[in-house]
Amino acid sequence: MKQYKHLFFDLDHTIWDFETNAKETLNDLYKQHHLIDKGIDDFDAFFEKYSDHNERLWDKYTKGLIKQDELRWKRMWLTLLDYKIADENLSRQLAIDFLHVLPTKTNLFPHTIEVLEYLTQKKYVLHLITNGFEIVQHSKIKNCKIEQYFTEVITSEASNSLKPHKEIFDFALQKSGALLQESIMIGDNQEADINGAKNAGMDTVFVNHLKVQPTVKATFTIEHLEELEEIL
């Protein structure tokens, strides 16, 4: 089997449970801003609408169609509009509060710590490549107490590029001093992580937490992080 040395992880939806953490955060804000008094009486439906808008806007953001600020507040604005609440000030305040609270949440996918510990003991060098925002992503890994496992944290802001573009992977290799043939990308997003890394010439592990039908051929496919111990 090929010998890898540098393991590049995605963060959100791969090791950091974005869905659970975002839901907890939005629930905090739902109560703090008394959104029930504004006619939003079902939090789960509110979160579902937010998630749909967030996913669509992130897709636009990764394609370079919208800027970071627009992504941050428009996901709130569009969700409130679904309830006929056209309040830009509230939307912008929710966006600020969301990014303040979100990184304090610490839900990781099962076995994350033990897998990172295992890989570190096996002398792999671990890094992160994330499309998330610089300050937010660093706060997340610090609050989750996993920052010590990662040598380099490559964000879209620092690299001036976004997955799936080849430039962010090239930047990661350069920053880490890793060689392409000894590197592998581990992530949940078939387009950003798997296709992106493949186009950069890197081997891949598709972390299929959601058990979807793969549309891209990865080097390895797993459904649980602990399966990494079987292939690395």
Task: Give the number of other Cβ atoms within 10 Å of residue 140's Cβ.
Answer: 26
Domain final residue pick, 47, 75, 104: 104
Contact at 8 Å (CB) between 204 and 185?
Answer: yes
For 186, the enclosing helix (H) or strand (E) is: strand 183-187
28 and 12 inside one domain: no
Q: Tens-digit pLDDT profile for the chain (232 aa)?
A: 689 999 999 999 999 999 999 999 999 999 999 999 999 999 999 999 999 999 999 999 988 899 989 999 999 999 999 999 999 999 999 999 999 999 999 999 999 999 999 999 999 999 999 998 899 999 999 999 999 999 999 999 999 999 999 999 999 999 999 999 999 999 999 999 999 999 999 999 999 999 999 999 999 999 999 999 999 9
For 30, the enclosing helix (H) or strand (E) is: helix 18-32
pLDDT at 1: 66
65 and 179 inside one domain: no
Specify if 1 maps to a domain. no
Task: Please count the structural domains in the chain.
Answer: 2
- Rounded Cα distance, 184 and 6, in Å: 7
Residues spanned by the domain of 213? 6-17+108-231
Return the CATH number at 218. 3.40.50.1000
Query: Which residue(s) pair with 154 in the sheet?
Result: 129
- Rounded Cα distance, 185 and 56, in Å: 24
pLDDT at 62: 86
